[in-house]
Amino acid sequence: DIHITQSPSSLSASVGDRLTISCRASQAIGNSLAWYQQKPGEVPKLLIYAATTLQSGDPSRFSGSGSGTDFTLTISSLQPEDVATYFCLKYDSAPQTFGQGTKVEFK
């Protein structure tokens, strides 16, 4: 099975900061990577799919990049409502696999 390594596990930042979260696959997965945001007590929400495509309705400060084995989620200017845990998911073929998650907090 393909393994996904997500980093960092947590980070602290200030409003307006630029953040990057990474996911690395143990084998090439093309562009079959998605990113989710999960706020405390809520259901996960799709942000990005096909590595770079922003889900309809999501703010444009979220962007995704990468292909093959290395992928990045970027938040261009952190807002208070972005405090959450972010997960990547590889879905090129079964089994799908989530990254371990990155908890984003304010300094």
Partner 1 sequence: QMQLVQSGAEVKKAGSSVKVSCRLSGGTFTNSAISWVRQAPGQGLEWMGGVVPMLGIVNYGRKFQGRVTIAADEVATTVHMEVTSLTSEDTAVYYCARDMVLRRGSGVLTMKPGDYWGQGTLVTVSS
Name the residues that contact partner 1, by CB under 8 A: 1, 32, 34, 36, 38, 43-46, 49-50, 55, 85, 87, 89, 91, 94-101
CB of 24 to partner 1, least distance (A): 16
CB of 11 to partner 1, least distance (A): 16
Query: In 10 A of CB 50, how many CB atoms?
Result: 13
| d(C-alpha 31, C-alpha 25), whole Å | 11
| d(C-alpha 107, C-alpha 90), whole Å | 30
Of 15 and 50, which has the nearer Cβ to partner 1? 50
